[in-house]
Amino acid sequence: MAAVVLKKEIGKAVVAIKTSPPHPSAAILGAKADAAKARFETGYQRARAPEWLVDVLACVVGLAVFVAAWAAIAKFGGRIPDPLTVGKAAAKIFADPFYSKGPNDQGIGWNVLSSLRRVGIGFGLAALVGIPLGFVVGRFRFASGMAAPIIALLKPVSPLAWLPIGLLVFKAANPAAIYVIFVCSLWPMIVNTAVGVRQIPQDYLNVARVLNLSEWKVFTKILFPAVLPYMITGVRLSIGVAWLVIVAAEMLTGGVGIGFWVWDEWNNLKVEHIIIAIFTIGIIGLLLEQALMLVARRFNYAS
């Protein structure tokens, strides 16, 4: 191996310095280290599980922990039925969910459909009133000033506080429950739609004014496409509140409905049926939420 000559300038003189060349094993070791690093990184990337598999695994583990905790509470608490007992009762109930043995003895399927019908009517009426009202409140400052104190005063009121007013006005339980759904679904639609209108850049409205567009053209070409994501968010919040409130309202009003079914099973001391109703209510609420989230993603123009 020949020595490597380096020249170093010291003052005005140039001095030649002889140094030993790098040992051949150093280059071999470096190449091996690089190869090992590449194999490690490649192997690590191949070993990573897909994200969907991680999400599914996390969900399964969470449910398993929940069921285990439930079984432990049932075993040591003594009053709550264990998961196996509830599962057997659920199999029996859902074997014939649409039986009918009179107005007060119907399967869980009819009760769920009755609750969904009330929610649909009350929610639909709220959408017909709340969404246009939200456009007006967000579009015109004077209307916003008029509506602000009313919304601030009535929005925090518990939905069930409106139930006696509904019973007084309609003198029947079914329209009173629909009325409660209507009131509690109204505020999220108004507020979110108005917020969406206020988020529209003023330049858009200035251009519309310069072009002398009619109010209908402004609504269809500018306001509605821009406000739609906000409006759907209000709809999502409203449907969640409506499904939450109908259960409590039906407990108080009676008749056919999932809320009444829960209360009736409590009077019969069938706790396992109450737990089945809780899971049924949660699953239906989850399905409604996911359906509206799909619609929201469909109209999310920002993405």
The string of pLDDT tens digits covering residues 69-124 is 988 888 887 688 889 999 999 999 999 888 888 777 788 889 999 999 999 999 99
Q: Looking at mean pLDDT, say which of 45-49, 186-190, 249-253 comes out highest.
A: 186-190
Give the pTM.
Answer: 0.73
Q: Is the pLDDT of residue 3 over 70?
A: no
Farthest-apart Cα atoms in the chain, separation: 115
pLDDT at 130: 92
pLDDT at 205: 78
**What is the rounded radius of gyration, in angstroms, for the C-alpha atoms of the chain?**
33
Confidence of residue 277 (pLDDT cuts 50, 70, 90): very high
Any bridge partners for residue 7, and if so which? 16
Lowest mean pLDDT segment, chosen from 30-44, 50-64, 240-254, 255-269: 30-44
pLDDT at 47: 56
Task: Taking residues 130-155, report their average pLDDT.
Answer: 90
Q: Smallest Cα–Cα separation from 139: which of 213, 222, 236, 233?
A: 222
Dihedral-angle region of residue 72 (phi above 0 means left; psi in -120 to 50 means alpha; beta otherwise): alpha
Q: Is the pLDDT of residue 252 over 80?
A: yes
Q: Looking at mean pLDDT, say which of 125-129, 159-163, 245-249 comes out highest.
A: 125-129
Does residue 213 or residue 188 have the better pLDDT? 188
Lowest mean pLDDT segment, chosen from 33-37, 47-51, 190-194, 269-273: 33-37
Does residue 89 or residue 215 have the better pLDDT? 89
pLDDT at 181: 92
The fraction of the chain above a pLDDT of 90, given in percent, is 28
Q: Give the dihedral sign, CA 119/122/128/130.
A: negative
The answer to whether 219 and 231 are in contact (CB under 8 A) is no
Residues 125 and 205: their CA atoms lie apart, in Å, by 30
What does the mean pLDDT of the chain come to? 82
Task: Taking residues 266-286, report their average pLDDT.
Answer: 90
The pLDDT tens digits for 26-48 are 566 666 666 666 665 555 455 57
Confidence of residue 236 (pLDDT cuts 50, 70, 90): confident
